[in-house]
Chains A and B, each alone.
Chain A
Amino acid sequence: MAETTRHLTVRIKRFDPETDSAPHWEEYQVEAEPWDRVLDVIQKVKWTIDDGLALRRSCAHGVCGSDAMRINGRNQLACKVLVKNLPDNTIRVEPILGLPVIKDLVVDMKPFFDHYKSVMPFLVNDEPPPTTERLQSIAARARFDDTTKCILCACCTTACPPFWGDRKYVGPAAIVNAHRFIFDSRDRAAAERLEILNDAEGVWRCRTVFNCTEVCPREIKVTQAISEVKRALLTGDVGEIDASAETAAAAS
């Protein structure tokens, strides 16, 4: 079944702010090849059926993170889902949940990026740099390797049940990016970031639902990163590299 052209029924949640007060579902019939991605299918809808359909996409290769949407009730990058892997011939496509919908599949990412900015996602180090580079051991680099992979697609934050209810929760993506610098041996602002995340709307709003880990298109172990931040807050200990991470890095 997978290797032939498929006749897909694409159900898209449409919202036009100029005419609609609430979103509604529209259905489109599209022919798709097994090697097509869901992004191609949606673009086929836009290019051949209804050019009013709004969506974001940029690189279309799973790197830029702009085409995050809810496909069959699950946050995914449309450019990383192949038609041949779809379980049946009907696809439901919705905007990601919890952020205001501007039009169709385009959501207002401002709250998301505000949370991202709030954790100071940049290297802070006022010490005079050495004549070469700020060197780091392999183990010290491996300590935060997983969280460097984030592409800020917002899949995790908008899959997070606490975030659906509470927009003020910083969300997993911001915590992942804080983790990336908190555990960086070259950074000097870990204490400040931990202070920001120690807020009631910070890391403690996490309920270990694991939806973030489940959806991350970069396969970042988000909940693991969040729990590492929680433990750093409890113990006040960020500098030390635990032996298990070191052996894991050595093994891989």
Chain B
Amino acid sequence: MRVSGLVLVFLALGHLCITHILNNVEVINYAFVAERWANPRTGVLWRLWDLTMINLAVLHGFNGLRQILYEWIVRPGARKLVGTLIWSACIGLIGIGSYAILNFRKDEDYLRRFREANPPAVTEPSLVDTTIPAPPALATIPSLVP
């Protein structure tokens, strides 16, 4: 807890600083995330940051919750149940979080339609660097839900 906490101080506060202070949260959208994670130069670093953060944060948070519950739930059977529930939730969240970060592919079709709806000069998010040509899409996931 102490070690993950100390690492998280930098990762989480840095993350909050980027998303809430350096950027207005209102500009954060798919294009913003796509630019960060699929950037040919810095994408790996952003993904590594987010992957470390998500794993440590989930472990730290759920371990904290488990400690709190163990303090008030003392019967061994109940503790075992609580522990099992918490570790399952932990694994589930780390699973979908890591899946999202590792399997992310830029949805070029969606982005094209997004750019068409938003001419660049007016509302292009600040971090989207249009001078870098986008790499060819590896897989195109159709947008299922509006």
A touches B (Cβ under 8 A): yes
Main secondary structure of the interface of B (DSSP, over half): helix
The residue from A165, A168, A200, A205 contacting B72, defined by CB atoms under 8 A apart: A165
> B residues within 8 A CB of A13?
none
The number of chain B residues touching the other chain, given as a range, is under 10
Chain A residues contacting B74 (CB-CB under 8 Å) are: 165-168
Which residues in A have some Cβ–Cβ distance to B below 8 Å? 161-162, 165-168, 200, 205
Mask, B58-77, CB within 8 Å of A = 1, is 00000000000011101000
Chain B, 57-103, CB within 8 A of any chain A CB: 70-72, 74
Cα separation A252 to B86 with both chains bound (whole Å): 50
- In the complex, what residues of B have CB within 8 A of residue A165's CB? 71-72, 74
Cα–Cα, bound, A162→B72 (Å): 8
Q: B70, B71, B72, B74 — which one has the most chain A CB atoms within 10 A of its CB?
A: B71
Residues of A within 8 A of B71 (CB): 161-162, 165-166, 205
Supplied contacts A161-B71, A166-B71, A200-B70, 5 more A-B pairs, CB within 8 Å: A162-B71, A165-B71, A166-B72, A166-B74, A168-B74
CA–CA, A97 and B127, complex, Å: 56
Q: Give B82-126 as 1s and 0s: 1 = Cβ < 8 Å from A's Cβ atoms.
A: 000000000000000000000000000000000000000000000
Name the A residues within 8 Å of B70 (CB-CB): 166, 200
Which chain B positions have C-beta within 8 A of A162? 71
Residues of B within 8 A of A166 (CB): 70-72, 74
Q: How far is the CA of A205 from the CA of B70 in the complex (A)?
A: 10
8 contacts between A and B (CB under 8 A): A161-B71, A162-B71, A165-B74, A166-B71, A166-B74, A167-B74, A200-B70, A205-B71
Residues on A with beta carbons closer than 8 Å to the beta carbon of B72: 165-166
Per-residue CB contact flags for chain B residues 12-39 toward chain A (1 = under 8 Å, else 0) read: 0000000000000000000000000000
Centre residue among A161, A165, A205 by max chain B CB count within 10 A: A165
Cα(A166)–Cα(B74), bound, Å: 6
Least CB separation from B74: chain A residue: A166
A162 to B74, CA, bound (A): 11
On chain B, the residues within 8 Å of A205 by CB distance are 71
User: Which chain B residues lie closer than 8 Å to A200 at the CB level?
Assistant: 70
CB neighbours of A161 from chain B (8 A): 71
| Distance of A168 Cα from B70 Cα, bound (Å) | 11
> Considering the chains assembled together, what is the distance between the CA atoms of A100 and B72 in angstroms?
16
With a cutoff of 8 Å between Cβ atoms, the chain B residues found around residue A168 in the complex are 74
Complex: how many Å from CA A165 to CA B67? 11
Chain B residue with the shortest CB-CB distance to A205? B71
Query: How near does chain B come to A18, taking the closest CB pair, in angstroms?
Result: 28
Distance between Cα atoms of A168 and B75 in the complex (Å): 10
Min Cβ gap A206→B in Å is 11
Q: How far is the CA of A165 from the CA of B79 in the complex (A)?
A: 13
Smallest CB–CB gap between B120 and chain A, Å? 52
A167 to B73, CA, bound (A): 10
- Cα(A162)–Cα(B70), bound, Å: 9
Taking the nearest CB of chain A, how far is it from the CB of B87, in angstroms? 15
Tell me, rounded to whole Å, the shortest Cβ–Cβ distance linking A102 to chain B: 21
CA A161 to CA B72, docked complex, whole Å: 10
Q: How far is the CA of A205 from the CA of B74 in the complex (A)?
A: 13
Which residue from chain B places its CB closest to the CB of A168 in the assembled complex?
B74
Q: Which 7 A-B pairs have the closest CB atoms?
A: A165-B71, A165-B72, A166-B71, A162-B71, A166-B74, A168-B74, A167-B74
User: What distance in Å separates the Cβ of A171 from its nearest Cβ neighbour in chain B?
Assistant: 13
Report the separation of the CA atoms of residues A165 and B70 in the bound assembly, to the nearest whole angstrom.
Answer: 9
